[in-house]
Amino acid sequence: MTAQVETQTPNIPNFGEALKTKTPNQEAFERLARNKASVFGLVVIILFMLMAIFARVLAPHDPLEITSGQKFLPPAWVAQTAGGKASNPDYLLGTDTLGRDALSRVLFGARVSMVVGFIPTFIIVLIGTVVGMMAGYLGGTWDNLLMRLTDVIYAFPDLLFFIIIMVSLRDSWIGQFMNGLFLLFASLAIVNWVGIARLVRGQVLSLKQKEFIEAARAIGVKTPRIMTHHLLPNTLGVIIVYVAFRIPGLIITEAILGYLGLGLRPPADSSATFITSWGGLLLEGQSAINAQPWLLLAPAICIALVVLAFTFLGDGLRDALDPRMRGSQ
């Protein structure tokens, strides 16, 4: 959130004292902590992480337990479906096509999806931002070569690439590492950084002509410092929007790639750490949209909450780190 909210609420404790002795980092943190929406975002993300970690404790059922004759039970608050199926209070969100507990599967799904939503995003943003800044700021041949590379990778048939990676590496140690998830991250990062790179480059191209950058250059600030202290904070806004859009994209991509055998393999044993993912549940739920819509709605709501929480947190973070906001209270 932004300056306007904060200036409208002047009775925040320590108002005005923040200027005195705080380091910029402490100052930023306090600005973040005062932003209610960001705090809400942070709390939601922490809750989902706890949910992922303690899925085994929280889940009322074994997520792989198949109950014969109990398929597509409605959620507990629906007494009876039009098809005459009575709900069972044991299954809060009902059951899936094999009679497995939908709630337990959603809880376990948080594990893969939280990891897949955030870790590859981090790698993608890192590569993309560095490439985009270099291309935009250094310009000329650098720009041309890096951007032609992005043209190539944009058009790259990533589906084929994923199939090859899956077949050639899945039985090697790198394919087994983290139950196949590491290989998934690496493949996703290789093909996904181009969007953010072009976005950052566009921002930098426009920013580097602005007065404050030219001023910094004129007084002899070194290039790396200009990048990290002047250009990066001013591109954070678009990076955060990009990430917010990348997270659900990656969660669903993970599920689609799962169909190519890349990434999570369906476990046979319910003691496995990674059982299923929200993306996988979404795709399973799609065909059952008439029979049990909650199979689709539950993971979709979870993904939406994570994205919303991240957007709030990200916006707050951006404002907190904005150099122009420093000391503005």
225 vs 324 by CB, closer to other proteins:
324
Residue 271 binds other proteins, judged by CB under 8 A: no
- Taking a C-beta distance cutoff of 8 angstroms, is the pair 148, 131 a contact? no
Stretch that binds other proteins, among 19-27, 86-94, 205-213, 216-224 (CB under 8 A): 205-213
In angstroms, what CA-CA distances link 100 with 73, 91, 93, 170, 177? 9, 9, 10, 29, 28
Q: How far is CA 104 from the centre of its chain?
A: 22
Among 15, 154, 172, 176, interactor with other proteins by CB under 8 A? 154
Token couple for 56: 């085994």
CB 312 within 8 A of CB 286: no
Q: How many CB atoms lie within 10 A of CB 19?
A: 11
- The nearer residue to other proteins, 162 or 185, going by C-beta atoms, is 162
Of 120, 244, 276, 251, nearest in space to 187 by CA: 120
Residue holding tokens 């957007």? 311
220-239 mask for other proteins (x: CB under 8 A)?
A: --------------x--xx-
Task: Report the residue from 113, 277, 311, 329 that binds other proteins according to the rule CB under 8 A.
Answer: 311
Residue 187 touches other proteins, criterion: CB under 8 A: no
Sole binder of other proteins in the list 202, 216, 221, 232 (CB under 8 A): 202
Query: Total binding residues for other proteins by CB under 8 A?
Result: 86
Query: What's the closest the beta carbon of residue 202 comes to other proteins, in angstroms?
Result: 4
Check residue 298 for interaction with other proteins (CB under 8 A). Answer: no
Give residues with Cβ within 8 angstroms of 120, minimum separation 6: 184, 185, 188, 189, 192, 250
Q: Is the dihedral of CA 212, 214, 219, 224 positive or negative?
A: positive
Q: Name the one range near other proteins by CB under 8 A: 46-54, 108-116, 182-190, 307-315.
A: 307-315
- Residue list 80-139, contact with other proteins (CB under 8 A): 81-85, 96-99, 139
Rounded CA-CA distance 71/67 in Å is 8
Q: Does 156 contact other proteins by CB under 8 A?
A: yes
Is residue 64 involved in binding other proteins (CB under 8 A)?
Answer: yes
The only residue of 53, 86, 126, 260 in contact with other proteins, by rule CB under 8 A: 260
Nearest distance, CB of residue 245 and other proteins, angstroms: 6
